[in-house]
Amino acid sequence: MRADGPQLRNLAGLYEKGHLRPVIDTTFPFAQTVDAISHVDAGKVRAGKVVITHN
């Protein structure tokens, strides 16, 4: 799969309709960025993404 204009427009449309939802494994506040990286490096992510939030 290569990112190109038509594919990205199609994916954006699917997301806007609620057909695509990101899978989030864990969320960390910005102050715990080092912990988030350690979490990933330790192989603790089972499925989804690690998200760093900014409050």
Tens-digit pLDDT profile for residues 1-31:
677 899 999 989 999 999 998 899 999 999 9
Is residue 41 in some structural domain?
yes
Is residue 43 in some structural domain?
yes
Residue 23: Cβ-neighbour burial (10 angstroms; 0-12, 13-18, 19+): exposed
How many separate domains does the chain show?
Answer: 1
Report pLDDT for 54: 94
Q: What is the pTM of this model?
A: 0.66
Is residue 46 in some structural domain?
yes
Q: Could you tell me which of 24, 28, 15 has the C-alpha nearest to residue 48? A: 24
Is residue 7 in some structural domain?
no
Range of the domain at 43: 22-55
Distance in angstroms (rounded) separating the CA atoms of residues 3 and 12: 12
Query: How confident is the model over 35-47, as a mean pLDDT?
Result: 94
Report pLDDT for 45: 92
